[in-house]
Amino acid sequence: MRPVARAPAALVLLLPLLLGPPAAGGDCGLPPEVPNALPDLEGLSSFPEGTGITYTCNPGFVKIPGRSDTSFCEQGQWLKLQEFCNRSCDAPTRLLFASIQVPYRTQSYFPVGSVVEYDCRPGFQRVESLSKKITCLPNLKWSKAAEFCKQKSCPNPGEINNGHVIITSGILYSASITFSCNQG
């Protein structure tokens, strides 16, 4: 019969410390790291079956709409999450002469390369040769919007009999003019 090799007693005592405490049946341990996000542990140190942990995007990152930010402990493992935090431009530039088209008005996530379009506001008309789009640039700023809408011009009111037309600020949309009667 061959002698059985035994581990030194010190190693046997250190092994549990090196490996850490055994996970309780169905306990998942600490939730996994997720790029650009931190878990909200809510003070928990044990994560039994069915526990859900929600992550929050790091500063400078926003949640990608439609992607889950919560992982659950199932069968002793955390369910994998698809990356859900990314950088985004802020809300698109507000323009005096145009408004953002409807599909973009409620959007809150604009990754690099996103394009939004505008429509001229009432009293403005489109300059066809200029783009009505802006783009989220790699520096997370919007490209500069061209002045693709110009104020409409109202027709000249002409002269009136027995009075005067006073035009102080031009005849563009939203300007005002004054009519006055001659004495008598």
Residue with tokens 């003019």: 177
Q: Is residue 184 part of a domain?
A: yes
Same domain, residue pair 78 and 52: yes
Q: Which of 29-38, 62-71, 80-89, 157-166 has the lowest mean pLDDT?
A: 157-166
Q: Sorting pLDDT into bands at 50, 70 and 90, what band is 35?
A: very high
Is residue 122 located within the same domain as residue 145? yes
pLDDT, tens digit (0-9, with 9 covering 90-100), for 60-116: 899 999 999 999 999 999 999 999 999 999 999 999 999 999 989 999 899 999 999
Q: Is residue 17 part of a domain?
A: no
Query: Residue 102 domain-assigned?
Result: yes
pTM of the model: 0.64
Let me know: does 112 contact 138? Beta carbons within 8 Å.
yes
Q: Which residues contact 142 (CB under 8 A, 6 or more apart)?
A: 89, 92, 93, 134, 135, 136
Domain hosting 77: range is 24-86
